[in-house]
Amino acid sequence: MFVLFEGVEGGGKTTQARRLYRHLRRHGVPVILVREPGGTAVGNAARKILKHKLDIEIDPITELLLFAASRAQLVSEVIRPALQEGQVVVCDRYAESTLAYQGYGRGLDLETIRTINRIATGGLHPHLIVLLDLDPEHGLRRKGSHTANDRFEREEIEFHRRVRRGYLEMAGAEPGRWMVIDASRPPTTVAKLIRQRVEASLPPAIQGSPGQGSENIDH
């Protein structure tokens, strides 16, 4: 099973992804936790450029292709092999982030992005997408001073509003695959809702199987 966490800045997706990962691991479910961009040597190099090299001007198309390159490596090196081994993959951002940020946020053509995403992922789609929905102003206040060191968090508020609208539009188009949660609710409540949905969706063959998880996130 492939579970994806998405949302605007400050929505708590990283926290909730890690909570789910640790919960599944405690219950003997073979699970791996990954994030985008990152998770491989290629991805980690791209992450430094895309997120934190604030002195570099990046064209939106270049930005799109860097994310795609990182994603292609993560899928081929980590995600697809883990799924083939019967593990649950918990992912912090994926192709939907590119549609939301580079498409709705930056204004790049959505069909072009979808084509590039298909190439980068080899057509691999998450079984469940958890959207932690939050008003962007609230999310950025949560982030506080950390926004100064992140390229995307420094964007104007209207950019983040477009990103949120994009997420909600995508979720509305595929309600069976998206789980939209009000991220302003208490984190423990959010975590419980996610656990219930994931556990109900797990294939019986891996529910409570013995095995160790791995956290493929570089800090």
Task: Quote the domain boundaries for residue 28.
Answer: 2-216
Report pLDDT digits (tens) over 143-201. Answer: 876 656 788 988 999 999 999 999 999 999 999 999 999 999 999 999 999 999 999 98
- Tell me, yes or no, if the pTM score tops 0.85: yes
pLDDT of amino acid 208: 54
pLDDT of amino acid 218: 47
Q: Using CA atoms, how far apart are residues 203 and 205, in angstroms rounded to an integer?
A: 5
pLDDT of amino acid 217: 52
pLDDT of amino acid 144: 76
Q: Is 45 exposed, middle or buried (0-12, 13-18, 19+ CB in 10 A)?
A: middle
Mean pLDDT (whole number) for 47-72: 93
pLDDT of 82 higher than 80: yes
Count of structural domains within the chain: 1
Contact status, residue 17 vs residue 92, Cβ threshold 8 Å:
yes
Contact status, residue 86 vs residue 77, Cβ threshold 8 Å:
no
Q: Which of 33-47, 124-138, 195-209 has the lowest mean pLDDT?
A: 195-209
CATH code of the domain covering residue 139 = 3.40.50.300
Q: Using CA atoms, how far apart are residues 113 and 98, in angstroms rounded to an integer?
A: 7
pLDDT of 213 higher than 90: no
pLDDT of 219 higher than 50: no
Q: By C-alpha distance, which of 172, 210, 217, 180 is closest to 197? A: 180
CA 25 → CA 39, 84, 89, 192, distances in Å?
19, 18, 12, 15
Report pLDDT digits (tens) over 120-137. Answer: 999 999 999 999 999 999
pLDDT of amino acid 216: 60
pLDDT of 207 higher than 70: no
Burial 15-30 (b: 16+ CB within 10 A, else e): bbbbbbbbbbbeeebb
Q: Which residues pair with 215 in a beta bridge?
A: 33
Q: Who has greater pLDDT, 211 or 75?
A: 75
pLDDT of amino acid 53: 77
